Amino acid sequence: MNPIKKTILKATLRLTMKPPKISDNLFEPLEPPKVSDDLFEPLETPDVSDKYQIEQNDRSKPR
């Protein structure tokens, strides 16, 4: 076999061997719904939407 093919096979074996452990560790903290709820609750408050509407009205007045 060519040395290039050997290195490619070694690299592919390394990539296929490692990702399951790494991906499990990365995606486990993202899966629980509690984290997403904590992140999106402050964005859904009516105060933020009221401020955004007020900004749009202020920008449209001078024109």
Tell me the pLDDT tens digit for each residue of 16-62: 665 555 555 555 555 555 554 555 555 555 555 555 565 655 666 55
pLDDT at 49: 52
pLDDT at 5: 86
Instruction: With beta carbons less than 8 A apart as the criterion, state whether 59 and 53 touch.
Output: no
User: What is the number of residues in the chain?
Assistant: 63
Tokens of 6: 């050997």
* Cα torsion angle, 32, 35, 41, 43, sign: negative
Give pairs for 3-9: CB < 8 Å, separation 24+.
none
pLDDT at 7: 87
pTM over 0.75: no
23-39 in b/e form (b: 16+ CB < 10 A) is: eeeeeeeeeeeeeeeee
pLDDT at 11: 79
pLDDT at 2: 86
